[in-house]
Amino acid sequence: ICGDGLDLQGDKLLSASFSTDNALQQWDLGSGDLIQSIRYRENDNEAEYLYSCRYVDSSRVVAGGSGSRDAKIINIIYEEVEGAIYDSKPIHSVGYRDGLVAAGGVGCYVHVGDFI
């Protein structure tokens, strides 16, 4: 894990790690067991390499990184991408509040979007 790659919700921990695959994972805090690996990449030719993640609600997360140079909102129940912010440079930080997603990184600016 590097950067802002941890978030808590209830008895669950969301982690984003700088790895090729299985970089976005949800864990049970009580047992320490892996609940699920959440597929981030949309095709098998790209690596994940995530820096940051946040819970949006109990069924969605937002994460971003340098593999595909984007931030995505993912429905973790259906494992579907519901929205994305694409950039030409790595995304180092993501945030969510009141229906707005923010993502920023090496590009020296912050993207803000209403995806929910």
pLDDT average, residue stretch 54-61:
96
- Contact between 94 and 110 under an 8 Å Cβ cutoff? The reply is no
Residue 109 has a pLDDT of 79
C-alpha distances in Å from residue 100, one per residue of 36, 97, 113, 114: 25, 5, 6, 5
Closest CA to 23 of 9, 44, 42, 37: 37
Q: Which of 20-34, 47-61, 92-106 has the lowest mean pLDDT?
A: 92-106
Which pTM value belongs to this model? Answer: 0.91
